[in-house]
Structure 1
């Protein structure tokens, strides 16, 4: 069911998806985020909104990229990557089962060695 005012689809109880194999909507990562020549494909599927946050599945091909984070918690389903931070936060080694919280405004560098897929819970951007 979608909200007529916003068009946002509410997350309702019912059929589930298999997050490790779910079909995603793919696009190239914007060139300004890419470090190097490889423009990776990024996939995303928003499952809906729940208690004021957005829940979905996200994936990125092997690459090196930069980002400015939003407030998000995620669980890695598959893949292998390192996230480096511009602040004093220690590097994170990501693999299946990693649970991470990134804070809004953190500048990061993602070094993805094997296609990374995660489930994310993200607060609205402010």
Structure 2
């Protein structure tokens, strides 16, 4: 595993090989199971943060940041939630899925196979 803490210029990186320290999702955010998440920030470029994020099997609620991500591996669904908790839409995620999330969006992530993504966020 790599101990890379920033993305050096001119050096190729394999995001699936980066070491992520996983932590349990806080109890108040758990939707199902006992998921854990890990993150490996790679730096900030022109005010945009870059990193790798992972979630193990299970479900969690989140309020999103403004983000674009590309799924590297795994499988999940993301439910988009109204203020009252009703589902307003669902997106299926798998390898090579590219998606944008808007800041403040309420979501429920349900991961069926550990999901790893590369993200850009402001």
Q: Given the two structures, how large is their TM-score scaled by the length of structure 2?
A: 0.85
In structure 2, distance between residues paired with 1:60 and 1:100: 16
- C-alpha deviation, 1:11, in angstroms: 4.6
- C-alpha deviation, 1:21, in angstroms: 2.1
The number of residue pairs the alignment matches comes to 114
Residue in 2 aligned with 1:43?
38
Q: Given the two structures, how large is their TM-score scaled by the length of structure 1?
A: 0.83
Moved over 4 A (4+): none
- C-alpha deviation, 1:90, in angstroms: 2.9
In structure 1, distance between residues paired with 2:75 and 2:6: 31
Residue in 1 aligned with 2:121?
122
Conserved 8 A contact 1:28-1:40: yes
In structure 2, distance between residues paired with 1:55 and 1:14: 16
- C-alpha deviation, 1:27, in angstroms: 1.1
- C-alpha deviation, 1:17, in angstroms: 2.2
- Structure 1: stretches of 5+ with no match in the other structure: 1-8
Conserved 8 A contact 1:10-1:50: no
Residue in 2 aligned with 1:53?
48
- Structure 2: stretches of 5+ with no match in the other structure: none
In structure 2, distance between residues paired with 1:99 and 1:27: 25
- C-alpha deviation, 1:34, in angstroms: 0.4
Alignment RMSD (CA, Å): 1.8
In structure 2, distance between residues paired with 1:76 and 1:55: 14
- C-alpha deviation, 1:28, in angstroms: 1.1
Q: How does 1:16-95 map to 2 (within 5 A)?
A: 16-36=12-32, 38-87=33-82, 90-95=89-94
Structure number with the higher strand fraction is: 2
